[in-house]
């Protein structure tokens, strides 16, 4: 065996390690071209351009709710205690700006799209109960709202298409506990060890087989 071979292998390994270290370190550095790009900082609650898609803040959600409560001309009940015969705000989410406006803003230096919210309302306390969607803006100080239901769905959304309210879930739970489960207490206790605290349920969709149905299967979970 050549006595110089181990030294040659050691030198080769050292060179390879040095090259790999240089490559890894160079990847961690920002390129001069990136560092030279100006950073866009806005004063409207968004730190960078990408935050045009940021979720609504708690303050923005509160502003939207207050605006709707004061500008729709109807009484709105808090959704956590609303009955099907009430009007309530079912949900509020970010209204994503149109793609063309976003691209002009991000790539073309155009104006920033107005920040808006999409509010879904259940109008149960009306002669013609329905589900209505409003775009509310501009945030964080709303000054307008527009009904986009017909534009999105081609007409009014019937009230029976709405998801269940929290109060309806409570009614179903009460029915299951006092009527359905009470019909077979021995079976439930002996087979499922039911003690009124270890079973929960989940509804399914759709609620029926034809328009207007409000029927549902309920899946029960033990423990």
173 occurs within a structural domain = yes
190 occurs within a structural domain = yes
- Residue 117 DSSP code: E
Q: Are residues 189 and 136 in the same domain?
A: no
Q: Are 124 and 160 in contact (CB under 8 A)?
A: no
Q: How many domains does the chain have?
A: 2
For 130-169, write each residue's pLDDT tens digit: 999 999 999 999 999 999 999 999 999 999 888 889 888 8
Query: What's phi and psi for 19, nearest 5 deg?
Result: -65, -45
Q: Are residues 135 and 207 in the same domain?
A: no
Rounded mean pLDDT, 83-104: 94
For 107-118, write each residue's pLDDT tens digit: 878 888 999 999
Q: Are residues 123 and 95 in the same domain?
A: yes
**Greatest extent of the chain over all pairs of C-alpha atoms, in Å:** 100
For 38-73, write each residue's pLDDT tens digit: 444 444 444 456 678 889 999 999 999 999 999 999
More confident residue, 120 or 178: 120
What's the whole-number average pLDDT of the chain?
A: 83
Q: Are residues 193 and 155 in the same domain?
A: no
Strands 130-137 and 157-158: antiparallel
Q: Are residues 150 and 172 in the same domain?
A: no
Beta strands in the chain (DSSP E): 87-95, 116-123, 130-137, 144-147, 157-158, 199-203, 218-222
pLDDT band of 75, cuts 50, 70, 90: very high
Q: Are 121 and 132 in contact (CB under 8 A)?
A: yes
Domain end marker among 139, 159, 179: 159
Q: Is 133 helix (H, G, I), strand (E, B) or coil?
A: strand
pLDDT higher than 50, residue 174? yes
Rounded mean pLDDT, 73-100: 94
**Percent of the chain having pLDDT more than 90?**
40
Which domain does 147 fall in, by range? 49-159
Rounded mean pLDDT, 162-182: 88
What does the pLDDT read at residue 36? 41
More confident residue, 22 or 145: 145
Burial class (CB in 10 A: 0-12, 13-18, 19+), 134: buried
Q: Are residues 62 and 154 in the same domain?
A: yes
For 194-216, write each residue's pLDDT tens digit: 888 888 888 887 788 888 888 88
Number of helices and strands in the chain (H, E)? 7, 7
What does the pLDDT read at residue 34? 42
CA distance 166 to 162: 12
Domain end marker among 142, 159, 176: 159
Q: Are residues 68 and 154 in the same domain?
A: yes
56 occurs within a structural domain = yes
18 occurs within a structural domain = no
43 occurs within a structural domain = no
What does the pLDDT read at residue 134? 98
The end-to-end CA distance of the chain, in Å, is 71
14 occurs within a structural domain = no
CATH number at residue 99: 3.10.450.40
């Amino acid at each position: 065996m050549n006595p110089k071979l181990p030294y040659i292998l050691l030198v080769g390994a050292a060179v390879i390690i040095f090259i790999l270290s240089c490559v890894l370190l160079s990847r961690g550095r920002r390129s001069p071209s990136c560092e030279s790009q100006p950073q866009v900082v806005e004063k409207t609650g968004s730190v960078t351009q990408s935050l045009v898609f940021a979720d609504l803040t708690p303050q923005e959600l509160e502003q939207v709710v207050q605006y709707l409560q004061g500008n729709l001309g109807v009484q709105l009940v808090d959704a956590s205690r609303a009955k099907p015969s009430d009007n309530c705000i079912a949900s509020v989410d970010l209204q994503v700006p149109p793609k063309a406006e976003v691209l002009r803003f991000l790539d073309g230096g155009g104006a920033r799209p107005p920040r808006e919210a999409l509010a879904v309302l259940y109008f149960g306390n009306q002669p013609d109960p329905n589900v209505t969607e409003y775009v509310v803006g501009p945030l964080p100080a709303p000054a307008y709202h527009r009904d986009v239901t017909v534009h999105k769905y081609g007409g009014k959304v019937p009230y029976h298409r709405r998801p269940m309210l929290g109060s309806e879930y409570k009614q179903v739970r009460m029915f299951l506990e006092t009527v359905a489960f009470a019909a077979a207490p021995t079976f439930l206790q002996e087979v499922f060890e039911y003690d009124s605290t270890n079973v929960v349920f989940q509804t399914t969709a759709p609620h029926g087989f034809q328009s207007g149905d409000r029927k549902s299967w309920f899946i029960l979970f033990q423990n």
